[in-house]
Amino acid sequence: MPFRDQKPDGQPPRLSLVRRVEAFARLSLYRLGLRELRFRGAFANREEALAAIPRGRLAGYDNDAIADVSFEKMCRIEIWDWPVLYWLWRVGAEQKVLLDIGGHQGTKYRAFLDHLPVDNGLRWVVYDLPAIVRAGRERAAREGLTNLTFVDELGDAPPADVALLSGVLQYVDTPIDELIRRLRTPPRHLVCNKVATRQGPTLWTLENFGRAEVPYRIRNYSEFLSRLDGMGYDVVDEWEIPALSHVIPTHVELGASASVGLFARRRD
């Protein structure tokens, strides 16, 4: 069933003329076979998105063939990483274990470590999909990174002082409160970044990774904050990342997503 947007006031999402023209140009080039779309389609759930991936293309992120895609790029610090670094610095003295949920092959470990006030005793534990974890373990072993370890089950992660969720929530079907409940103990601090949100109902689209297409979730903003509150976390700081706002060219009428980050502390 195609996704249908439903706004409480019955009004369509507002989108600037410039962004509408950009989306129309991308869609036109795509239909002419001159370029690929980064995002296409709008679906009510992840299963519908997966069903729309053509036969012959890889589906999803849990594939050895795409484990190394964009690795070097993800190891660089981008402008939207600085709020994350600021809050990791602020709580640095408390950190013994950092759990990096969806941390790929330890890309943020490599990007951030020289900028954090921690000694070599910090354990950086990455949780990710099995294919990513396999590649991450092999790479860390080659590089001799003994403080960087990996798990592919959240229940196997050690208790952590901080959980980092950077650029992962748009790729998982599990709400954030359910992810945290799988841990042995909830971390005192949560740092979320690059969370794709919108004011309307949660939807899924497909993101193009070249050889693969990956379901991409754009979640309702208010529901996301409500789940944090329900877990007992207070949002201390929040920021928006305009450069990571996206329009789905095939569904311009749904408006643009808003990419946000936040730092939250658990209520004692």
In angstroms, the CA 38 to CA 141 distance is: 33
pLDDT of residue 121 exceeding 80: no
pLDDT of residue 119 exceeding 70: no
Q: Where exactly are the structural domains of the chain?
A: 57-203+219-266
- Looking at the domain 57-203+219-266, which fold is it? Rossmann fold (3.40.50)
Please give the pLDDT value at position 34: 44
The strand pair at 212-220 and 203-208 is best described as antiparallel
In angstroms, the CA 265 to CA 162 distance is: 9
pLDDT of residue 7 exceeding 70: no
Q: In this predicted model, which residue has the larger pLDDT, 191 or 69?
A: 191
Please give the pLDDT value at position 20: 65
Please give the pLDDT value at position 87: 96
DSSP state of 158: P
Sorting pLDDT into bands at 50, 70 and 90, what band is 57?
Answer: confident
Q: pLDDT digits over 97-118, tens only? A: 999 999 999 999 999 988 887 6
Residues 57-73: what's their mean pLDDT? 74
Determine the residue type at 247: V
Stated pTM of the model: 0.85
In angstroms, the CA 219 to CA 225 distance is: 11
Which secondary structure element, helix H or strand E, spans residue 207, and what is its range?
Answer: strand 203-208
The CA-CA-CA angle for residues 45, 56, 174, to 5°, reads: 25
The contacts of residue 121 (CB under 8 Å, 6+ apart) are 96, 147
Please give the pLDDT value at position 201: 96
The DSSP-derived string for 47-82 is HHHHHTSPTTSEESS--GGGTTTTHHHHTSPPGGGH
DSSP state of 171: G
